[in-house]
Structure 1
Amino acid sequence: MPPASEAAVAPNAVLLVEDRAVEHGAVRVLTLNRPAKRNALDTALTRALRDALDAADRDPAVRAVVLTGNGRGFCAGADLSEFAHLTPDDPDAVLERAALTARVQTQMQQLSVPVVSAVRGAAVGGGAGLAIGADMAVAGTDLKLGYPELKHSIVPALVMTGLVRHLGRKLAFELISTGRLLTAAEACAHGLVNRVVEPEDVLPTAMGIAETWAAVAPRAIGAAKDLFYRVADLPTDAAMRAGQDVNALMRGFRR
């Protein structure tokens, strides 16, 4: 991945990649960079984000990742201008894009490196999915988060799983069926974000969280993250057995 200096001289890239040195390694900052389109997710940006997340997970120098957006908004969801080309006349392209989107919407929780989203302004549709799909989320007081796809006669199919797993069914269905946007205070009250701060403090706050993670041994935080998501989907007895296994292995993680 390019160093910070290269990210700074490539302003036309759809995704900016910057490594910020911290005491124990680096925090990699990934910035969605289509501000004129409110960072809408076209195929190029979605591919770039998928590849950048995988690269961060493979890089032993990277201890944590911050995902943010350039401009006043985090991400406006899918780039609807591409939909004119994603039709039944080209089924391979339709299936490829669906698989790509599904991968990115679930990818952050599958990485061993922890990810925090730094979210200002609009985070809607696929953008909302990315915001809450990180391990932690910091939101600005200007946050507007929701799923307005039905207003465009689109089913929010690939973001629905993440939303339902984060919220109770009644509120999740309300957001999907009405397109109502949550404020930052509501998102925090419902556990969708961890911190609400002034917009100018969003990235520094997310960096502070990432630097805390960076101070932890990578094998330990990777194992903790993996176990956390596994036990969430297991019955209690199976979850405790998985915890016992990691409890035994963790003895080798101590410095």
Structure 2
Amino acid sequence: MEKMTFVEYSVKDRICTITLNRPDKRNALNEQVVSELKQAFAYAAEDIDAKVIVLAARGSAFCAGADLAYLQQLQKNTFEENLADSNHLKELFYQIYTHPKVVIAKIQGHAIAGGCGLATVCDFSFTVQEAQFGYTEVRIGFIPAIVKVFLLRKIGEGKAKELLLSGDLISAEEAKDFGLVNKVVGEDELDGTVSDFAKKLVKKNSGQSMQFTKQMIAGVQEMSLEDGLNHAAEQNAKARASEDCQKGISSFLNKEKPSW
């Protein structure tokens, strides 16, 4: 993997940690940051030492969205240039949402606009009580276009409208009530909580089963009821023949714990 400036990559105990490291800019997104995140997630997909991914950040904010200099540059772009840039971010969100490995967001500070979008596309999100969340795009005459597609799936139309059309910032507890995050903990508990959860997934769950389940959740929502059920039946049949399933069932019948 090429050396990166704003993103760190590490693996320990089969847990890959991808860390935003632009704390002086509140980990704001620009073309380079998005490129480096895409590079890191692509590498993690093929990394045999990594079973689960944690998306983390350094500094006081998780991610403040697009930075000011970046927004100023976009005003000078042609439509074609802005479309290419929009597709760049779209590809990152889609990459995380459909990633073959479970992605856990460890949110140690505010997640705003595009930063809240990053949290939205992760499979699980754990945050501290002090963090705030929100999609503030409408307050600067912009639109939360790309994240909207994922947010509607995650929390439904009513709640999505409340967040996207108001532009309000909400507390961590409110974000949990909305379904944006899974758990709110104290600042001194965040590292341990995320680590314990990631280790549990690594130790107790089949990586193949998590991958197929995640992919089905993403794909089945686009299908009709009948097509979705047919697809589910096919995947069920395929899973029965997989090495992981045979190993898991054998271990269960022999009253043993499978080693994943």
TM tier, smaller: 0.7 to 0.9
| Aligned-partner residue type, residue 239 of structure 1 | G
Of stretches 194-203 and 33-42 in structure 1, the one that deviates more from structure 2 is 194-203
Structure 1 runs of 4+ off > 3 angstroms? 87-93
2:99 is the alignment partner of 1:107: no
SS in 2 for 1:174: helix
User: TM-score by structure 2 length?
Assistant: 0.86
Task: Provide the residue aligned with 1:17 in structure 2.
Answer: 9
Does the 8 A contact of 1:128 with 1:147 survive in 2?
Answer: yes
Q: Write out per-residue CA displacement over residues 58-98 of structure 1, whole angstroms, 9 at most, x where no aligned residue.
A: 11221010001111111001123112222455444322211
Aligned to 2:127: 139
Q: CA deviation at 1:194?
A: 1.1
Q: Does 1:187 align with 2:175?
A: yes
Aligned match for 1:244, one of 233, 238, 244: 233
Alpha-carbon displacement from aligned partner over 1:29-79 (angstroms, at most 9, x marks no partner) = 011111111100011111000111111011122101000111111100112
Q: In structure 2, how many angstroms separate the alpha carbons of the residues matched to 1:242 and 1:223? A: 12
Distance 1:223 1:41 in 2: 30
Which residues in structure 2 correspond to 1:147-186 (within 5 Å)?
147-186=135-174
- 3-state DSSP class of the match of 1:65? strand
Equivalent in 50, 54, 65 of residue 42 of structure 2: 54
Please say which structure displays the higher CA radius of gyration.
Answer: 2
Computed over aligned residues only, the root mean square deviation of the Cα atoms, in angstroms, reads 1.9
SS in 2 for 1:60: coil
Render the CA deviation track for 1:112-135: whole Å, top value 9, x for unaligned.
111010112210111001112101
The superposition leaves residues 100-147 of structure 1 with CA deviations (integer Å, 9 ceiling, x where unpaired) of 111112221211111010112210111001112101111111121101
Aligned to 2:15: 27
Runs of 5+ consecutive residues of structure 2 not aligned to the other structure: 248-260
> Residues 102 and 89 of structure 1: is their aligned pair in 2 closer, same or farther, counting only changes over 3 Å?
closer
Residue 14 of structure 1 aligns with an amino acid whose one-letter code is F
Give, as a single letter, the amino acid of the residue that structure 2 aligns with 1:159. V
- Read off the aligned partner of 2:41 and give its amino acid letter: L
Cα contact 2:64–2:114 (8 A) shared by 1 = yes
Taking a change above 3 Å as real, the CA distance of residues 179 and 67 of structure 1, as seen in their structure-2 partners, is same
The aligned amino acid for 2:209 is A
SS at match of 1:62: coil
* Matched position secondary structure for 1:107: helix
Matched position secondary structure for 1:158: helix
Is 50-59 or 235-244 further displaced after alignment? 235-244
Report the Cα offset of residue 153 of structure 1: 1.9
Identical columns (%): 28
The answer as to whether partners of 2:159 and 2:178 remain within 8 angstroms in 1 is no
Aligned-partner SS, 1:74: strand
User: Does residue 96 of the first structure (1) align with residue 84 of the second (2)?
Assistant: yes
Letter in 2 for 1:141: Q
CA contact (8 A) 2:111 2:119 kept: yes
User: How many Å apart are 1:177 and its aligned residue?
Assistant: 2.4
1:221 aligned to which of 200, 206, 210 = 210
Q: Which amino acid aligns with 2:217?
A: F
Count of matched residue pairs: 243
**What residue in structure 2 maps to residue 6 of structure 1?**
none
Shift of residue 178 of structure 1?
2.2
In 2, are the aligned partners of 1:65 and 1:114 still within 8 Å (CA)? yes
- Whether 2:104 is the aligned partner of 1:116: answer yes
* Deviation, structure 1 residue 205: 1.7
Q: Which runs of 5+ in 1 are unaligned?
A: 3-9
Structure 1 counterpart of 2:257: none
Q: CA deviation at 1:222?
A: 1.3
Match of 1:7 in 2: none
TM-aligned CA deviation for residue 148 of structure 1: 0.9
AA matched with 2:228: A
2:202 corresponds to which letter in structure 1?
A
